Amino acid sequence: MHICFHAAALLFFLPYCYNMAMLDAHAHIGKLTGNAFVCTAGTEDLNKARLFPHWALGAIPEGKEHDMDKLYQAALSGGHVGEIGLDRRYPDMDRQIEVFRDALEIAKECGRLAVIHSVREYGMIYRILSDMRIERFMMHGYTGSEEMAERFMRLGGIISLSPRAERAKSFLKLLHLPFVTETDMPTGDEEMRALDAWNRRLSDLTGRDIEKESERIMREALC
């Protein structure tokens, strides 16, 4: 009985032990973990975000607060910058662009990775990144065209795919490029299971070890 229990426990935990190297390229604050790069929508979460080993502080319309002093403080104290970006579902695009450019300036000055959120604004984001000569960035939850992905990559950017990418017209074409994988979920057991399933799905489609590829690219990007 005793032995059976241990054998059962081992079988249960083995998949998780095996996946200790898994790194979610974009997640939100949940359970404390080193297996995800945690980003925020607003600067109000500075104190929670900085508890994670891989973290960024952001300012997108969904966030409550867009305090550039806090963003700067985060970038100076080991955090990255994100998520930041443009979202056509929200009003006042001029103000959004102003916040986005200020945040990019901070990322550039501090040499941090910018994590970029875009809803139907890839063209404008590309022009801003290229104009400001931003090279260290990641296009999170990418669902645009393959051509646009290649243009972002030529600037120096990383493309990150969440399970939503499967609904994009370009999905199969995007798989020919290097990319990282994300869930965009709060960290926790459910998030790790979703990431594992997503990596397996993409490995089946590409014949590549996507978990390993994504983890390698992310560890380099977060240095």
The site for Zn ion (CB under 5 A) is made up of: 184
140-153 b/e (C-beta count within 10 Å ≥ 16 → b): bbbbbebebbebbe
* Cβ–Cβ under 8 Å, residues 180 and 159: yes
Q: How far is the CB of 114 from Zn ion (least distance, A)?
A: 14
Placement of tokens 């020919």 in the chain: 176
Sequence-ordered alpha helix ranges (H) in the chain: 2-18, 46-49, 68-76, 93-110, 122-131, 146-155, 171-174, 189-206, 210-221
CB 85 within 8 Å of CB 60: yes
For Zn ion, the closer of residues 45 and 184 by Cβ is: 184
CB of 92 to Zn ion, least distance (A): 21
Task: Provide the minimum distance between the beta carbon of 29 and Zn ion in the complex, in angstroms, as a whole number.
Answer: 10
Closest-CB residue for Zn ion?
Answer: 184
Nearer Cβ to Zn ion, position 121 or 184? 184
Residue closer to Zn ion, measured from CB, 184 or 213: 184
Nearer to Zn ion, 32 or 172 (CB): 32
